[in-house]
């Protein structure tokens, strides 16, 4: 057997919690009749493996008859684990309960027990409405049509038909709105992740084109909870994309209040809730509202314990990424680089643990900010190691924003390491990279031009003179809405000031932060 055989079964087994594993064994033993339970034996062997290796399994079970048809045995075991998970989680999942009720309605209908089916249908409809399951509600109304049609017009009343018609019309409107806003939101985020916030008027126009489509959507008067959330989410993201940070923050706060007005929804939509918090923290940090930032960060950190049994693996991954990204960003903003670098082992372990599940962009964002932390702590070799994780990641070719600023930070690291022979080549390579991706904005152009001059300078006095002359230009770019985006990634201006004053970057960053907080 090849070691490259599909690892799907291994991955599924390793994803199970202790409770799920225990339940599977009970479930499997009940569903095996008249034969030795090979499934449980294979399950136990795979569970003990640290790495996927099918050859080890074949060696261990050598001579066993089931190995002759192992692909069938393996698929059967995989399906059995899925079935046990379905049974284990059925009582916890509203969706599972609703599908079970739909199946019951279908069975009762086929038996001719139409009144029984209607009673079950009313219960299903009530549950689906409570949890805003629009797609299921549409399926329920289809079942309702079948029963009405089968029972015949003599048992139906005109007002009931009209009520049913209005209900379905409203459901379709809500479902259509959710689909349309979701599609536009995705289109906006594809553009935002690819190129970042607007850096030119043409970028603004690209985002406005998406927003103009959103504005003319048919929106029902009374929105479902989820649709209202989605509209706020889209509007705050659009405002952020076009550099209207105050407006973005205002809408984010409205969305946060929307959740707090429906507290029972927080556990149902945990991903959405904590993404609102992280986005508020990001924008409040731009304003320097330290108290608000730390209050929200503490709420984020307490979030896992509040969710308890609702804390899924997917949510653990997102919380790991979001909490560490936000904390790094805050500590770097405060110039507290020593404390920020202390997060490196946790982040390194998490990236390794969730290497397959974390998106390339999330990994890159974590790596970029930990690189800044080591840069500020004057551990330039470690800073370079983290920035190289981004530059060597082929999956990030389209993530222009994060990878472009990684190239610029890479140049500063080489400058600080005094890699004078390598620096001219690195500058030339970066110019080529930015030019190919049409990212030769004012800031990048000025940065590369001046760094080229600095790298060719013959003395420290000449370097200081060059830096001093460019200070006014950098200040002007920092005030330019389109160019100021660059400083959200790394405060190049503070680095410049530290060089002119011949002081450590960390010290200058800390002084500026404390003066603004005073």
Structure tokens given for 180? 């349309």
Looking at residue 398, its pLDDT comes to: 52
Residue whose pair of structure tokens reads 């760094």 in the numeric block: 451
Number of neighbouring beta carbons within 10 Å of residue 484: 16
DSSP 261-309: TTGGGTTTSHHHHHHHHHHHHHHHHHHT-HHHHHHHHHHHHHHHHHHGG
Q: Exposure string (b/e) for 48-61, b if CB count within 10 Å is 16 or more?
A: eeeebbbebbeeeb
* SS3 at position 46: helix
Instruction: Provide the CB-side half-sphere exposure for 86 (13 A, CA).
Output: 9
79-111 residue pLDDT tens: 889 888 887 876 667 777 888 888 888 888 888
* SS3 at position 5: coil
User: Which of 4-18, 138-152, 240-254, 400-414 is predicted most confidently?
Assistant: 240-254
Looking at residue 290, its pLDDT comes to: 77
- Could you tell me which residues come within 8 angstroms of residue 43 by beta carbon, excluding any fewer than 6 positions away? 13, 24, 25, 28, 77, 81
Which of 50-64, 262-276, 439-453, 458-472 is the least confident region? 458-472
Q: 343 with 473: CB under 8 angstroms? A: no
- Global pTM value: 0.71
* Distance (Å, whole) CA 273 – CA 67: 48
Q: 108 with 124: CB under 8 angstroms? A: no
Three-state SS letters, 366-381: HHHHHHHHHHHCCCHH
Among the listed residues 266, 244, 245, the one whose alpha carbon sits nearest the alpha carbon of residue 255: 266
118-165 residue pLDDT tens: 888 888 888 888 877 888 888 888 888 888 777 665 455 666 667 777
Which of 20-34, 483-497, 499-513 is the least confident region? 20-34
Which of 62-66, 149-153, 346-350, 453-457 is the least confident region? 149-153
How many secondary structure helices (H) and strands (E) does the chain include? 26, 0
Long-range contacts of 476-485 (CB under 8 A, 24+ apart): 477/442, 477/443, 477/446, 480/442, 481/243, 482/198, 482/199, 482/200, 482/243, 482/441, 483/199, 483/441, 483/442, 483/443, 485/196, 485/197, 485/198, 485/199, 485/243
């Amino acid at each position: 057997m090849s070691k490259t055989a599909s690892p799907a079964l291994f991955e599924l087994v390793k994803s199970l919690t202790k409770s799920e594993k225990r339940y599977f064994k009970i479930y499997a033993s009940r569903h095996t009749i008249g034969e030795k339970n090979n499934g449980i034996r294979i399950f136990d062997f795979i569970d003990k493996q640290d790495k996927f290796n099918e050859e080890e399994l074949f060696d261990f079970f050598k001579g066993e008859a089931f190995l002759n048809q192992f692909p069938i045995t393996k698929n059967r075991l995989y399906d059995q684990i899925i079935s046990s998970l379905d049974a284990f989680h059925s009582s916890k999942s509203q969706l599972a309960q609703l599908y079970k009720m739909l199946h019951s309605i279908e069975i009762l209908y086929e038996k001719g027990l139409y009144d029984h089916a209607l009673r079950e249908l009313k219960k299903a409809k009530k549950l689906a409405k409570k949890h805003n399951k629009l797609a299921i509600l549409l399926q329920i109304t289809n079942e309702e049509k079948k029963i009405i049609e089968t029972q015949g017009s003599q048992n139906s009343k005109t007002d009931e038909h009209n009520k049913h018609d209005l209900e379905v019309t409203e459901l379709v409107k809500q479902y259509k709105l959710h689909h349309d806003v979701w599609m536009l939101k995705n289109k906006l985020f594809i553009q935002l992740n690819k190129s970042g916030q607007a850096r030119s008027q043409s970028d603004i126009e690209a985002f406005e084109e998406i927003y103009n489509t959103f504005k003319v959507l048919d929106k029902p008067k009374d929105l479902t909870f989820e649709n209202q959330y989605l509209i706020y989410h889209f509007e705050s993201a659009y405002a952020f994309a076009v550099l209207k940070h105050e407006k973005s923050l205002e809408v984010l706060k409205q969305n946060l209040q929307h959740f707090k007005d429906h507290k029972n929804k927080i556990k149902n939509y945990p991903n959405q809730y904590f993404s609102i918090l992280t986005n508020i923290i990001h924008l409040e940090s731009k304003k320097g509202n330290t108290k608000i930032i730390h209050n929200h960060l503490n709420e984020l950190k307490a979030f896992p314990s509040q969710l308890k049994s609702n804390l899924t693996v997917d949510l653990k991954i997102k919380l790991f990424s979001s909490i560490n990204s936000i904390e790094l960003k805050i500590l770097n903003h405060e110039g507290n680089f020593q404390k920020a670098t202390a997060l490196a082992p946790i982040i390194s372990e998490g990236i390794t643990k969730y290497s397959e599940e974390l998106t390339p962009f999330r990994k890159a964002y974590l790596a970029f900010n930990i690189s800044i932390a080591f840069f500020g702590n004057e551990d330039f070799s470690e800073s370079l190691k983290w920035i190289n994780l981004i530059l060597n990641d082929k999956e990030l070719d389209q993530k222009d924003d994060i990878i472009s600023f990684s190239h610029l930070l890479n140049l500063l690291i080489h400058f600080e390491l005094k890699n004078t022979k390598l620096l001219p080549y690195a500058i030339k390579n970066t110019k080529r990279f930015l030019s190919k991706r049409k990212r030769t904005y004012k800031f990048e152009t000025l940065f590369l031009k001046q760094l080229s001059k600095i790298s060719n300078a013959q003395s420290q006095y000449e370097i200081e003179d060059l830096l001093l002359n460019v200070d006014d230009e950098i200040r002007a770019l920092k005030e330019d809405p389109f160019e100021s985006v660059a400083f959200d990634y790394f405060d190049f201006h503070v680095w410049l000031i530290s060089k002119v004053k011949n002081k450590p970057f960390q010290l200058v960053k800390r002084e500026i932060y404390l003066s603004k907080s005073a």
